Each structure stands twice: as structure tokens, then as C-alpha cells.
Structure 1
């Protein structure tokens, strides 16, 4: 498979090419349609990257940073609780310090949380990106 762009710059995944037209799939909707061959331009983007682009950026960030139910639960808790100190996180959940630090580091690298101060202690707060991702996962927005 290859990726193509139409005359308006919209990206598609090329499904099939014939003599006069190309069947393309919109990565955002999954819908397929035919475009004239002279209306599509080939590009070098991986079709898997193009397919992933149909998922919102906040949700893609969360999916790549969350590895299991515990890490998803931690992200949801950070979204629901606003800012939480590290001391409180260690006391409230069944994560050792190194596991917690690892998850928080991944969330920070993905732009899902930001470091803050809570009651004079180091803590973390969810970013708008994390809030959007969790809302989408909960079916609250699309």
C-alpha cells in the first residue's frame, strides 16, 4: 500500500489503482472512494502512519504512553483529580516509587501531564491533551 494526496492536499491510503482511477481510503473515516489518477499524487508517508492519523492526536499520545490497566488508571486518576502530589500518589496507589516515576516520565514525555506544586510538594497535573484523550476514551467526545 502507498499513500497519496488529492488536489486539495487531503491524504488517503491507496487501495487499488486502475488505468483511469484510483480507489482510496480516508484514514479519518475509513470510507473508500474513487479519484481520477490525475487527481492523486504519491507521497512517501507510511500507510500505517497515514492510517494512525485518522485518530485524534491526544488519543494517539495516550495510547502510546499507556501500557496496561494500571497505567491507564493512573492517567484517568490524574485527569479526574486535577493536581496530585507525588507523596499522595505513592500513598494512594499500589505502585512502587520507581514504577510511578517511570509512568510519570512517560506521561510527561507524551505531553499528558505537567509538573506542578501541590501543598508545597512536587506533584503532577493532567494537561488538556490528557483530558481530551480520556474524554474520548470515555465516549464523551469524538
Structure 2
């Protein structure tokens, strides 16, 4: 597979090519269609895997990249559902040691998925809007959720 674009700049994945037309896949919808070969050109320097991933909404890509397992994903979901939580409260509520919790929170901060927040229990963390949108999308909502 390779990445191609049409005259409007829209990117597709080239699935197969014949003498006159090419079967291309829209990375956003997964829909395939034929385009005339003279309507598309190769995109140099863009991996077809990156093009395929571009069809997944950015908030979801960020969460999928940062959440290594169910526990880390669960932490993001809990912060999204329950609102800001203190570090002490998170340690009490979940089966994470302090170093694991701080490691995850540092990764999530770097990815823009959590932010520091003041809570009644002291310093804590809250899900960002990006995380809240990603959780809604992962649960089957739409981009506007």
C-alpha cells in the first residue's frame, strides 16, 4: 500500500492499481472506490500506516498511544468520569503503587491527557477535554460528544 492524493489534496490509501484506474481507501471512513489514475498522485514521505491512522480521531489516537494497558486506560476513564482527584485519593482508590501512578500521570501530562488540579484532598489531576472526548468516542459517541 501507499499513500496517494487527489487534486483537492485529499489523501487515500492505494489498494490496487490497474492500467486505467486505482482502487483507493478513504482512511476516515474505510470506504473504497475507484479513481482514474490521472486523478491521483503518490505522496512522498508519508507512511501508509500513518495515513491509515489519520482516520482515527486525534483524541482517540492520543489515548491509544499513551494507555499501555487496561489499568492505564482505566485511570483515564476514572478521571474523565469522576472529575479531578487528589493524588492521595487516587492511591487509595486504585491498586497502583505511588511510583506507577506518578509514572502514568507524567506520561499522560506529556500527552496532554491530564492536567494538574487543586482538589479538596490537595494536589491532584483532572482529565483534559481531549481525554473526555476520547472516552466518549471510545464508548461509541460521536465527535461532538
TM-score (norm 1): 0.94
**Residue number in structure 1 paired with 2:117:** 116
Q: How far is the alpha carbon of 1:21 from its aligned partner?
A: 1.3
**Residue number in structure 1 paired with 2:66:** 65
Aligned length: 142
CA distance in 2, matches of 1:17, 1:91: 58
Deviations 1:77-111 (A, max 9, x none): 00011111111111111100110011111111111
CA distance in 1, matches of 2:138, 2:37: 38
Q: How far is the alpha carbon of 1:119 from its aligned partner?
A: 2.6
**Residue number in structure 2 paired with 1:128:** 129
Deviations 1:9-52 (A, max 9, x none): 11000111222211111111111111111111211211111111
Q: How far is the alpha carbon of 1:141 from its aligned partner?
A: 2.3
CA distance in 2, matches of 1:95, 1:120: 18
After TM superposition, the runs of 4+ consecutive aligned structure 1 residues lying more than 2 A away are none
Task: Say whether residues 1:37 and 2:75 are aligned partners.
Answer: no
CA distance in 2, matches of 1:35, 1:103: 45
Residues 1-142 of structure 1: matches in 2 within 5 Å? 1-44=1-44, 45-119=46-120, 121-142=122-143
CA distance in 1, matches of 2:69, 2:88: 22
Contact residue 24 and residue 33 of structure 2 kept, 8 A: yes
CA distance in 1, matches of 2:54, 2:5: 14
**RMSD over aligned Cα, in angstroms?**
1.2
Structure 1: 5+ residue runs without aligned partners?
none
TM-score (norm 2): 0.93
Contact residue 16 and residue 23 of structure 2 kept, 8 A: yes
Q: How far is the alpha carbon of 1:136 from its aligned partner?
A: 1.0
